[in-house]
Structure 1
Amino acid sequence: MKKFEEKTIKSETLFKGKVISLKVDDVQLPNGKTSKREIINHPGAVAVLAVKEDGKIIMVEQYRKALERSLLEIPAGKLDEGEEPKVTAERELEEETGYGCKSMSHLISFYTSPGFADELVHLYIAEGLYVMEDSKGTDEDEFVELVEITVDEALNLIKNQVIYDAKTSYAVQYLQLQQALKNS
């Protein structure tokens, strides 16, 4: 769908980093005028809703420098070049939690901030969890602590802004909806 399309006149990459790049595009607007757009390019990411047999969700607590605080989140990570999202989801689950799973199913994909970034997150649900004997462990610059919580506990943590990111809130609300549908 290209309604109200903005045609790129000129594009300049200002920064190319390990995770993102930043470019500034000069665009022609639908009314013929011009404007500038600052755009973050991101390779995409996965997020894993890991649900144990007892219904508890496995989350990780980690420090997020951009926010200067720790957050409680579902396991997640960026796609490596050429890697299929499901493979990334399985890898991130193992690296961040030490768990593997019998079933990894795609739930939905969504853009995180389409006003200025092209990051697409693929949300998966992992079921039939088991502890990996020879887990790869986290990346050397990643420090996480595992936390297991119920959906009700998670909803309370969302309300109190302990769970404060969109992917985790989205996943918890998905589980809440599934429980409601099951009980109706």
Structure 2
Amino acid sequence: MDQLEEKTINTKHIYKGAIIDVTVDDVQLPNGEQSKRELVKHPGAVAVIALTDDNKLLMVKQYRKPMESSSIEIPAGKLEEGEEPILTARRELEEETGYTTDQLHYITSFYSSPGFSDEYLHLYWTDQVTKLEIRPDLDEDEFVELYEADIAQIDEWIKKKEIQDLKTLFAVQYLKLNK
């Protein structure tokens, strides 16, 4: 038994949305006291490190409302119910970049922000991409710009804070250490 475990006493469902659910849990702390935990329930996500033949990283720029600005990121998206992460990764790569692959390699999975969310993100990479003749439609509320960038350009974007999300920073570090 984990000596740091917080036992859930009660769960109050606050919000049920299309992407997330929000709950407030009453918990018993390891010292016997009680507290509240606000939790975001998420179905999970994938992200793809995709390199072109000329060793450029496929990236997308999109507006992120919580940041109130645009962000340059690696392709990523939410798992659909019952969908295998590798299938989600291929779908998101195709939708967001117009490229496809049948050579996705699993890297790792991690919690993106475990202090308040259970989102579990699966990360894949490929250096075998092919441009699709017809790009699949994006979601109706999704607008992205495609970029193909080398490490020098990516480092500039990081310095300018145009790249600030964890999955993309992790992906860049992974590339620097492994390529």
* Alignment TM class, shorter chain as reference: over 0.9
- Per the alignment, residue 154 of structure 2 pairs with 154
Write the letter of the residue equivalent to 2:162: V
- Per the alignment, residue 100 of structure 1 pairs with 100
Write the letter of the residue equivalent to 1:46: V
Structure 1 moving runs of 4+ over 4 Å: none
- Per the alignment, residue 139 of structure 1 pairs with 139
- Per the alignment, residue 18 of structure 1 pairs with 18
Distance 1:29 1:84 in 2: 35
Distance 1:92 1:51 in 2: 15
Q: Which runs of 5+ in 2 are unaligned?
A: none
Q: Which moved more, 1:101-110 or 1:6-15?
A: 101-110
Distance 1:94 1:3 in 2: 45
Q: Which moved more, 1:151-160 or 1:44-53?
A: 151-160
Secondary structure at the counterpart of residue 158 of structure 2 = helix
Distance 2:49 2:89 in 1: 10
Distance 1:68 1:75 in 2: 19
Offset at residue 153 of structure 1 (A): 1.7
- Per the alignment, residue 115 of structure 1 pairs with 115
Distance 2:165 2:149 in 1: 16
Distance 2:110 2:41 in 1: 15
* TM-score (ref. length: structure 2): 0.96
Distance 1:59 1:134 in 2: 19
Overall identity of the aligned pairs, in %: 54
Distance 1:3 1:131 in 2: 52
Secondary structure at the counterpart of residue 86 of structure 1 = helix
Offset at residue 173 of structure 1 (A): 0.8
Secondary structure at the counterpart of residue 104 of structure 2 = strand
Summarize the alignment of residues 1-184 of structure 1 with structure 2, pairs less than 5 Å apart: 2-179=2-179
Offset at residue 160 of structure 1 (A): 1.9
Offset at residue 135 of structure 1 (A): 2.7
Secondary structure at the counterpart of residue 106 of structure 2 = strand
Aligned length: 179
Write the letter of the residue equivalent to 2:169: S
8 A contact 1:93–1:99 mirrored in 2: yes
Write the letter of the residue equivalent to 1:65: K
Write the letter of the residue equivalent to 2:30: P
Distance 1:137 1:98 in 2: 9
Q: Which moved more, 1:132-141 or 1:88-97?
A: 132-141
Distance 1:88 1:67 in 2: 25
8 A contact 1:15–1:22 mirrored in 2: yes
Q: Which runs of 5+ in 1 are unaligned?
A: 180-184
